[in-house]
């Protein structure tokens, strides 16, 4: 049986694994990369990339249909199959960056097979045994399929299959009102589908409820039916005639079904116990340095059981590169990690929500707010809905919520502020070009200082004193 000895063996060629492999090999380490499925992982093939491409197609159709600014709208007659061609073209355009050929060109040994540990120091991929000084488990996650009665006998989609569907669903039922479910709801609605979203608790329940309400109102205004508190109890039917029953006694009938209730880590096939790597249903157990119970093994990205975002996977890769290659200590943080839901309007968050900040900081918290209704660029472009609010403690932001146009772009200012420990004065002192959406961040910072300047008796006394001077 062939045997390879290497410095670093990475299991999984998604965002996390590719980042480690590329960085490590270019800095002189010997690297073996193992991938049993698609290079690029979930993000490229089934997640971030195709979903944003489909959303872009839906956005184009929506803008074409909507009249505004004296320009009449007209029926765009969306070509659903052509929209899927766009999705495939985007994936194909990006794929070479994540390809086996590129990584082999960098000097990485790529093995296309599934991996399983043999011991604390060895694993097997196909017919090859790999012994490494360090292992990185970056196997990601997959769609969680809940044990709903009848689901095993009904055709359904997950994010791994929905982008291959070329015939437009007449009525798409989505189980799950989180970011994935609502993004797909809006994309399909704008491409001509009737859409029903069934959420067992609160839609966008992990986000600030005030911000989530803005998104849900917009989606409902587009004709998307969103039922909250609708716990699915049974599914039945055949392709083209799906029947979903919920605990409130309601029955929903549609042509297609999408399951979007969450993710589960890919750990079952790894034989982690043979490597003495601790794990549970949430994923691999890691410390703050992303190290497992076996000090030779790290776990990063979705499989590590934390926030399941591509940018978090990339961040984890950067954290473990320091100790693996240079022997330097490094610990992962979570307080500065942003996330976004790419509906229209977008919703983005970094750090603590208002509710979390009030619970943690109590009376020390100040909430500074600015509305897009007062942002001149948003008014000019017909996007003046939503707001930005910043949670501030002792002059420093500890969290920010933005709902509105390009919220995913705008949240980056606050991600930088929190990660770098900047004060609100740094944002207030920033010069933003006019008119831009980014001014809303400066206005929010200004809103923090306004009461201290305009409502302070001391400030007024000082100003009156100075005015009496010759």
Residue-averaged pLDDT of the chain: 95
Query: What is the rounded distance in angstroms from the CA atom of residue 189 to the CA atom of residue 176?
Result: 16
Q: Is 351 annotated as a binding residue?
A: no
CB atoms within 10 A of CB 262: 15
302 assigned ligand-binding residue: yes
Distance in angstroms (rounded) separating the CA atoms of residues 297 and 288: 14
Residue 259 known to bind ligand: no
> Does 121 appear as a known binding residue?
no
Task: Give the separation between CA 332 and CA 320, rounded to whole angstroms.
Answer: 9
SS3 of residue 135 by DSSP: strand
Binding residue per annotation — 293?
no
List, by residue range, all CATH 3.50.50.60 domains of the chain.
3-39+99-142+264-326, 151-261
| In this structure, CATH architecture of domain 151-261 | 3-Layer(bba) Sandwich (3.50)
> Burial level of 304, CB count in 10 A (0-12/13-18/19+)?
buried
Answer whether 0.85 is exceeded by the pTM: yes
Q: Does pLDDT of 173 surpass 70? A: yes
Residue 401 annotated as binding site: no
- Confidence at residue 454, expressed as pLDDT on a 0 to 100 scale: 65
Beta bridge partners, 6, equal 132
How far apart (Å, rounded) are the C-alpha atoms in residues 246 and 232?
4
- Give 452's pLDDT tier (boundaries 50, 70, 90): confident
**306 labeled binding residue:** no
pLDDT of residue 296: 97
Cβ atoms of 94 and 15 within 8 Å: the answer is no
- 70: confidence class by pLDDT, cuts 50, 70, 90: confident
pLDDT band of residue 312 (cuts 50, 70, 90) is very high
**pLDDT for res 73:** 80
For strand 141-143 and strand 263-265, is the pairing parallel, antiparallel, or unpaired? antiparallel
CATH topology (fold) of 338-454: Enolase-like; domain 1 (3.30.390)
For residue 124, the model assigns a pLDDT of 97
Q: Binding residue per annotation — 40?
A: no
Start-to-end CA span in the chain (Å): 93
Q: Which residues contact residue 17 at a Cβ distance below 8 angstroms, ignoring those fewer than 6 apart?
A: 10, 11, 33, 35, 41, 136, 138, 300, 301, 317
pLDDT at 459 over 80: no
**Per-residue pLDDT at 453 exceeds 80:** no
What pLDDT was estimated at residue 297? Answer: 98
The CATH classification number of 3-39+99-142+264-326 equals: 3.50.50.60
Q: 278 among the known binding-site residues?
A: no
The confidence score (pLDDT) of residue 356 equals: 97
CATH 3.30.390.30 range(s) for the chain read 338-454
User: Is 431 annotated to bind ligand?
Assistant: no
Is the pLDDT score of 200 beyond 80? Answer: yes
pLDDT per position as a tens digit, 91-132: 999 999 999 999 999 999 999 999 999 999 999 999 999 999
Q: What is the mean pLDDT of residues 76-103?
A: 95
């Amino acid at each position: 049986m062939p045997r390879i000895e290497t410095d670093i063996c990475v299991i999984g060629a998604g965002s996390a694994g590719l980042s480690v492999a590329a960085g490590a090999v270019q800095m002189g380490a010997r690297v073996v990369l193992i991938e049993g499925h698609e290079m690029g992982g979930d993000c490229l093939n089934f997640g971030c990339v195709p979903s944003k491409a489909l959303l872009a197609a839906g956005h184009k159709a929506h803008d074409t249909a909507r009249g505004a600014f004296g320009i009449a709208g007209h029926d765009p007659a969306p070509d659903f199959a052509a929209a899927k061609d766009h999705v495939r073209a985007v994936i194909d355009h990006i794929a070479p960056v994540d390809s086996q050929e590129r990584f082999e060109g960098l000097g990485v040994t790529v093995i296309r097979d599934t991996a399983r540990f043999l011991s604390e120091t060895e694993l097997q991929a196909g017919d090859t045994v790999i012994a490494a000084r360090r292992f990185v488990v970056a196997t990601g996650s997959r769609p969680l399929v809940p044990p709903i009665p009848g689901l095993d006998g009904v055709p359904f989609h997950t994010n791994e299959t929905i982008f291959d569907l070329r015939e437009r669903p007449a009525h798409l039922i989505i189980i799950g009102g989180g970011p994935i479910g609502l993004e797909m709801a809006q994309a399909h609605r704008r491409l001509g589908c009737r859409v029903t979203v069934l959420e067992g608790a609160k839609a966008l329940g992990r986000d600030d409820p005030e911000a989530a309400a803005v998104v849900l109102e917009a989606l409902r205004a587009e004709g998307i039916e969103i039922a909250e508190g609708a716990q699915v109890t049974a599914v039945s039917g055949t392709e083209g005639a799906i029947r979903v029953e919920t605990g409130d006694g309601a029955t929903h009938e549609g042509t297609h079904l999408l399951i979007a209730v969450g993710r589960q880590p890919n750990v079952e096939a790894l034989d982690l116990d043979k490597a003495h790597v601790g794990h549970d249903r949430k994923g691999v157990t890691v410390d703050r340095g992303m190290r497992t119970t076996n000090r030779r093994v790290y776990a990063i990205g979705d499989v590590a059981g934390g926030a399941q975002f591509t940018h978090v996977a990339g961040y984890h890769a950067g954290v473990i590169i320091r100790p693996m290659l240079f022997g330097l200590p490094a610990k992962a943080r979570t307080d500065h990690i942003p996330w976004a839901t790419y509906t229209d309007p977008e919703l983005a968050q970094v750090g603590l929500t208002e509710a979390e900040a009030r619970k943690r900081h109590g009376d020390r918290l100040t909430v500074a707010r600015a509305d897009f209704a007062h942002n001149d660029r948003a008014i000019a472009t017909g996007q003046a809905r939503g707001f930005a609010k910043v949670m501030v403690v002792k002059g420093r932001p500890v969290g920010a919520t933005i709902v509105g146009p390009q919220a995913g772009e705008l949240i980056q200012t606050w991600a930088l502020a929190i990660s770098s420990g900047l004060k609100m004065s740094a944002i207030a002192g920033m010069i933003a070009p006019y008119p831009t959406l980014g001014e809303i961040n400066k206005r929010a910072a200004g809103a923090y200082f306004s009461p201290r300047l305009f409502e302070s008796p001391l400030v007024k006394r000082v100003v009156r004193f100075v005015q009496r001077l010759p």
